[in-house]
Structure 1
């Protein structure tokens, strides 16, 4: 005679295990985010101190993280000034993705177009039409399009051109 033993699955025990593990995931995610903020603040201090153009090399020589990780830590530190990290459930990537999604969904209010802004737009336009190389012209044209968009304008409107007298084609934002 053979006896078969059937395992008993204790669902209440498994539910407690799942819930405890979930709480630990949330705790460690917050802890990781807080440490990323701490590293980011120190990196921002170092960046202000290190000679211009040598920060990436300084990180490589002195830090145990990659430059890409350092950039993420600095972004966490910068954005944590306006978001309470204790209220956020998730890790570094989730936090940065949430900040990016929030920024994309915010309706942008065009700022006022000042005399200095008009002069800057005209400089971009001059480079776009008379730049030394095609690459310089294309870059200036793209910059003018982005710059004008900040004010809710077309590139032509930013430089006071009538569309029928356009000398250069500006890229359109999608």
Structure 2
């Protein structure tokens, strides 16, 4: 889908802040699965959490991301995704877990725009919180894992500038023609 645009990268690199700003500027955006699943699982005492059951967490993310793909529907207007299905494969690899065949099939079936925006690790803005427990080394490794899987799946990576959100918004809007 040429109008389904992914923003990926490691934790704490400004992805969600950028996507939120793009939404505020009028673009249609799809939220990241991970944080929502962590909040929901924590609220119900569930175990599909990255620190409890990583495989179950990945399955929850897959369901969320496929649903987001369907909700985005057939539209000519750009839709910005805070992460995509390939991120789940990168996550599982990073954790040293096997990647189920159905996830590879999902990543090949539910496609996004060939050009994927990737947020580099940015030490100046990286922070941890209740949902983001990764340290800086894991954040860097996550960036690298995401870059690797998107390239393997035939996507072209466009690094986001290490710049204020307004500049990142302008950069993306210019790049996607929105």
TM-score bin, normalised by smaller chain: under 0.3
TM-score by length of 1: 0.23
Q: Which structure is higher in strand share?
A: 2
Choose 1 or 2 for highest CA Rg: 1
TM-score by length of 2: 0.23
Q: Which structure is higher in helix share?
A: 1
Structure of higher RCO (CA pairs closer than 8 Å, 6+ residues apart): 2
